[in-house]
Structure 1
């Protein structure tokens, strides 16, 4: 909910900070006092279009900061948007907007600079504004399906439909891909068979290129390697080699070891180990020399194999190590050609079964939606009667679409529609209803859907325009119910019946400060509140009768304070 709204240098407001609470909050004041400035300021913070005319005369910059408390909902949609943008997620969300006198605007979320589009996206999850000339949220048909599903507790059914949709589309995509591959493969069959036969004959192996390249380098330097190996072997095992020298040293020491009192034993052990290591090295050199001798005639064969692999890789536009996977892919495509009938038939059967399961669940969901739509329509109609709109008709249209319209949300096109005149066909809310009617439609619908909406703060701007008496009282009563349902409701009103329902009351005043006119907003005490409602009842001169009437209006509703 909205916790504080701080405004600096906006039109007639020089410096103002308002602290809001949950429940029904009313704002009143004489015409022209500046109530619309408050809504314009809030709109700026929520990402509405900025106009340099909002900057107070004589100031370089206007600034609005709106602080929201989101701790009541761990799954608030604003959190998902913040995570998507990699912004810090906290229970307190601060939106700030500055606007310069030359029309430049800057936006911030928790003191991090952002674009106005992101600010507007967040604002749409935080505040919903309804009035004679501005309204959103419920007017967007994209929200109607989710609202109806929430109203009827159909979320689990919707999730099942969504899961079955994904399963069907995956199988269907696999079928289409297999059919496409088969068609392409048939067109390339001759090439595939020829190329596959070549690769089968070549029989490429993973890592073969590197292995052949290493052998090639070895064989290219065969003579030098053999000379070096034989020379090293001679140094180890020749007449004057290390082996003979170590053996002679060991023999000499062993002969007199018993006369050294054990002091020669460590030396003898080291020489013995060295002799074993030298003998092993000599044997390894001998074996390596033999291997190279055996490979002596294979350089040409290795080069032929290496060049054949590289030529095939160039031909097919892959790396040498990609030849084996390419060969497997060609074999798969050829098998598909040979077995395409069975494979496509199996996939088609799976797709039909998945589609049937989806349609069964989607039709059941559609039937449940249609039933819930009738219940919703009746509930809204009951709310419209006291609002002097008993002849108006609210309709939730649940129409099954063609296959092109099917999706993870089901097979329905859902829209809230109204008809304001008997016999007239229903149409979209914003195209059929007038400004005052639209606001009352929104109020009735909001009362019915109070527990399923995601936006915690509602703003109604002069929803009572053009009505009075019992209708104004009915509007006030419904606003009070909304405020008591856990929502925060801000109402700008000229109706004493509505103002009397408020849990909290602010008065917007305009006064002269030297050569300038300023707007201020004051939270009213109980006595001030009664005086303000009396003014709204009587006009310029407040009579005792008006004060008594104000006390009568407020009295039964003290429980709201």
Structure 2
């Protein structure tokens, strides 16, 4: 529901702040007062084209802010578009248009695209007027309106449709694969045999490459290790010389205490040198390898990498490729047996879809009859006695079948006896079209459309009993949703729960449009003006009182 509208520098509106409540709100004013500006401003907030012509002369920019109590699900839509929101919080939509034509949109002070504003607008507000080419006038939405009117659940048909399409896709894919595989059978057999012979394993290339690196490194340091062993433990190495020195010290050590300490130090050095020699020898043995192992690993790496290049995959993916090609060959060998099973599955899925769609079509036909009766009952009071309404349901060609079934649904009218039926927007005149829209909306009142509906001069060209009938139906519709009605009819205005007056004022220099909510006495005067014209008579005031009392 729309709760507030704030407008700044839009055409003739300098600054305007309005609050809205539930039920039926009426907007009146003399012709040319600027009622269309108010609707254009709201449309701007809801994603309409940001025309720089909307910016008030002399202003740098125009802005419109609309505040809503949003219906459930809006927060999910915003979340899908990367914006933060809660269903329990007011939804604030703001649009700014600069004098140079640039525009920006915001939702709860977060930047938003015009496309998102339009999607939000389609969920929040329905605008109906004589030149409206959306909503009820768009045949693309008639099927969904009929389904909602009848409370039909199309989920089963949609599920059957997706199952059928999935089965058909699997069948087509299998046929294409078998056809391709049949052409490449010789290559497929060769590739599988070749890969099976190679028997690649995941991670094998990395293991071989690391082992080869170690062996190549070992080969380079083997000579240094041998020299080190000789230096430590050879016939003329460090350990042999220390043993010789120890024998000499052992003979003369008793002659001096320092020599005894030297001998002890030398003994320790021989132990450490011996340990070092053992470690070097152990490392030498550990790094020793058979040159044939290096050759084998290099050959294996060469084969793996060559095979990977051949099939344009990474070496680690060769094992998976072998499995994939083997499965393709197995499917090819299964041949027609596998195709036959997929064909049977696709036929069964199609039959289920056809059955579900046929049941939905039957339910739609019954619902169409009920809707036609409901709309027909609304036409005579709206002075459309000679008009006829019907809901046509026609089968779609198979290539247009879908998750919503096989039907094309369109609302059609014939305005005169004997005249052919045709599309609403093509057959009805301006005044008739507005009344047809109202009749449809009343008949569809429980279909749960947008929470706010706006009717722009739906009562143009009618008066008396017809205007009263329009007012009564708008009042009834307002029990289902918030209604804002731009009207010239006192009968309609008298039905309003809130009454806004739109008027121009001129200070001799600048013309401005203003809007204010009328209290009871002001409302009486405005309805009297609508009844009598420029000069308000006591008789007009009395008639206004009667209209308000009987509303």
Q: What TM-score, normalized to structure 1?
A: 0.85
Q: Map residues 385-534 of structure 1 onto 2, 5 A cutoff.
A: 385-485=380-480, 487-534=481-528
CA shift for structure 1 position 514: 4.1
Separation of aligned partners in 1, 2:412 and 2:425: 9
Separation of aligned partners in 1, 2:488 and 2:127: 17
Separation of aligned partners in 2, 1:532 and 1:28: 8
Q: Map residues 349-368 of structure 1 onto 2, 5 A cutoff.
A: 349-368=344-363
Q: Map residues 236-315 of structure 1 onto 2, 5 A cutoff.
A: 289=285, 292-293=288-289, 295-315=290-310
Which residue in the other structure is 1:40 paired with? 40
Separation of aligned partners in 2, 1:309 and 1:543: 103
Which residue in the other structure is 2:126 paired with? 128
Which residue in the other structure is 1:17 paired with? 17
Query: 1:288/1:431 Cα in 2 relative to 1: closer, same or farther (>3 Å)?
Result: farther
Which residue in the other structure is 1:54 paired with? 54
Give the secondary structure class of the aligned counterpart of 1:396. Answer: strand
Out of 131-140 and 534-543, give the one that drifted further.
131-140
Give the secondary structure class of the aligned counterpart of 2:31. Answer: coil
Which residue in the other structure is 1:67 paired with? 67
Give the secondary structure class of the aligned counterpart of 2:501. Answer: strand
Q: Is contact 1:147-1:453 (8 Å) kept?
A: no
Separation of aligned partners in 2, 1:164 and 1:114: 37
Separation of aligned partners in 2, 1:341 and 1:304: 42
Q: Is contact 1:3-1:69 (8 Å) kept?
A: yes
CA shift for structure 1 position 116: 2.4
CA shift for structure 1 position 7: 1.5
Which residue in the other structure is 2:159 paired with? 163
Query: 1:236/1:496 Cα in 2 relative to 1: closer, same or farther (>3 Å)?
Result: farther
Which residue in the other structure is 1:174 paired with? 170
Q: Is contact 1:416-1:428 (8 Å) kept?
A: yes
Separation of aligned partners in 1, 2:499 and 2:224: 102
Separation of aligned partners in 2, 1:232 and 1:489: 100
CA shift for structure 1 position 413: 1.6
Which residue in the other structure is 2:146 paired with? 148
CA shift for structure 1 position 188: 0.7
Say if 2:93 is the partner of 1:95.
yes
Which residue in the other structure is 1:261 paired with? none
Q: Is contact 1:230-1:289 (8 Å) kept?
A: no
- Choose the corresponding residue for 1:111, options 109, 126, 129: 109
Separation of aligned partners in 1, 2:78 and 2:389: 36
Separation of aligned partners in 2, 1:440 and 1:285: 106
Give the secondary structure class of the aligned counterpart of 1:190. Answer: helix
Out of 172-181 and 162-171, give the one that drifted further.
162-171
CA shift for structure 1 position 339: 0.9
Query: 1:209/1:425 Cα in 2 relative to 1: closer, same or farther (>3 Å)?
Result: same
CA shift for structure 1 position 10: 2.2
Give the secondary structure class of the aligned counterpart of 2:83. Answer: coil
Out of 463-472 and 220-229, give the one that drifted further.
220-229
Which residue in the other structure is 1:194 paired with? 190
Separation of aligned partners in 2, 1:187 and 1:350: 26
Separation of aligned partners in 2, 1:163 and 1:391: 43
CA shift for structure 1 position 462: 0.9
Separation of aligned partners in 2, 1:473 and 1:288: 110
Q: Is contact 1:26-1:491 (8 Å) kept?
A: yes
CA shift for structure 1 position 326: 1.6
Separation of aligned partners in 2, 1:430 and 1:234: 106
Runs of 5+ in structure 1 lacking a partner? Answer: 242-277
Deviations 1:192-234 (A, max 9, x none): 1122222222222222212222222233344566678889999
Q: Is contact 2:229-2:280 (8 Å) kept?
A: no
CA shift for structure 1 position 181: 0.4
Q: Is contact 2:225-2:280 (8 Å) kept?
A: no
Separation of aligned partners in 2, 1:181 and 1:150: 43
Runs of 5+ in structure 2 lacking a partner? Answer: 240-274
Which residue in the other structure is 2:272 paired with? none
Which residue in the other structure is 1:251 paired with? none
Separation of aligned partners in 2, 1:167 and 1:237: 81
Which residue in the other structure is 2:338 paired with? 343
Separation of aligned partners in 2, 1:448 and 1:544: 39
Q: Is contact 1:401-1:411 (8 Å) kept?
A: yes
Deviations 1:522-544 (A, max 9, x none): 21111221121111111122222
CA shift for structure 1 position 101: 3.2
Root-mean-square deviation (CA), in Å?
2.9
Give the secondary structure class of the aligned counterpart of 1:390. Answer: coil
Give the secondary structure class of the aligned counterpart of 2:379. Answer: helix
CA shift for structure 1 position 505: 0.8
Q: Is contact 1:128-1:135 (8 Å) kept?
A: no
Deviations 1:453-486 (A, max 9, x none): 331111111111111111100000010011122x
Separation of aligned partners in 1, 2:291 and 2:10: 93
